[in-house]
């Protein structure tokens, strides 16, 4: 199918300054991400950044780069500007591939785009995977998602959801019952271009700010997010030094 991948990339990072340009086995992180993206069925892959250092490196390995403003509060707002710059049509599909996902399989990029194409009542689509570890259930860095019977997102949270009343409160998380409807949200999104153009005008909501999860703004304002279970392992994103060391080994 025809869709566009945009990779938002910022130089500043609280835990890993200059993260997109950090060397991983001889290549900068942003190049690993880009090379995953071009293996997909997308017609075009664009790196969106506000930093000339990232622009120079990305152009150097052959990427198309779109320079954006520095004042965007989120990656979704940055994508909205790119869509306007490129003058994409309202019915096109754009996939947001985070610039710190060097292991994301191309098959999942195609899957999230296909999922949105097959769900005309949804503004967005995303992916998830079953949680199989008690530690992950209680880890606030692992975002959880609950869906309805049509696979639309009901809520995203850093807390354990759904809460298993008769198990999760026992022995500080020990001896818990792992359930088959506890899903980790994968931060990979597809958007309809028409919705991306509207997103910056949506008012931020309290739950979004409390959870620090921008996708909650979409749910809060009544838009649907289609969720599918990923066909394969999405790999790990790089947020910390420990993530970086693990990625070096896995790659």
- Determine how β-strand 4-9 pairs with β-strand 153-157: unpaired
pLDDT digits (tens, 9 = 90+) for 189-217: 999 999 999 999 999 999 999 999 999 99
Per domain, the residue ranges of the chain are 4-250
Q: For residue 171, what pLDDT is reported?
A: 53
Sign of the dihedral through C-alpha 31, 117, 94, 224: negative
Q: For residue 11, what pLDDT is reported?
A: 87
Distances (CA, A) of 46 to 8, 27, 86, 166, 200: 9, 18, 10, 48, 20
Q: Which CATH number fits domain 4-250: 1.10.4190.10, 3.40.50.1860, 3.90.550.10, 3.40.630.10?
A: 3.90.550.10
pLDDT digits (tens, 9 = 90+) for 27-41: 999 999 999 999 999
Q: For residue 175, what pLDDT is reported?
A: 65
User: Does the pLDDT at position 172 exceed 70?
Assistant: no
């Amino acid at each position: 199918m025809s869709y566009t991948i945009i990779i938002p990339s910022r130089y500043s990072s609280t835990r890993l300054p200059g993260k997109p340009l950090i060397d991983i086995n001889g290549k900068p992180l942003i190049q690993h991400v880009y090379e995953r993206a071009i293996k997909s069925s997308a017609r075009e892959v664009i790196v969106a950044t506000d930093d000339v250092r990232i622009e120079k490196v990305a152009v150097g390995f052959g990427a198309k780069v779109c320079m954006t403003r520095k004042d965007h509060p989120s990656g979704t707002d940055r994508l909205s500007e790119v869509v306007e710059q490129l003058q994409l049509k309202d019915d096109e599909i754009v996939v947001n591939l985070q610039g710190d996902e060097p292991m994301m399989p191309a098959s999942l990029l195609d899957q999230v785009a296909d999922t949105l194409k097959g769900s005309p009542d949804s503004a967005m689509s995303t992916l998830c995977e079953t949680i199989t570890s008690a530690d992950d259930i209680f880890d606030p860095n692992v975002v959880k998602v609950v869906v309805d019977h049509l696979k639309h997102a009901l809520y995203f949270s850093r807390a354990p959801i759904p809460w298993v009343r008769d198990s999760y409160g026992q022995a500080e998380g020990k001896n818990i019952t792992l359930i088959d409807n506890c899903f980790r949200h994968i931060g990979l999104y597809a958007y309809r271009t028409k919705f991306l153009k509207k997103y910056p005008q949506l008012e931020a909501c309290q739950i979004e700010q409390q959870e620090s999860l921008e996708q909650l703004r979409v749910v809060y304002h009544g838009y649907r997010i289609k969720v599918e279970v990923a066909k394969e392992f999405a790999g790990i994103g790089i947020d910390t030094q420990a993530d970086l060391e693990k990625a070096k080994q896995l790659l």
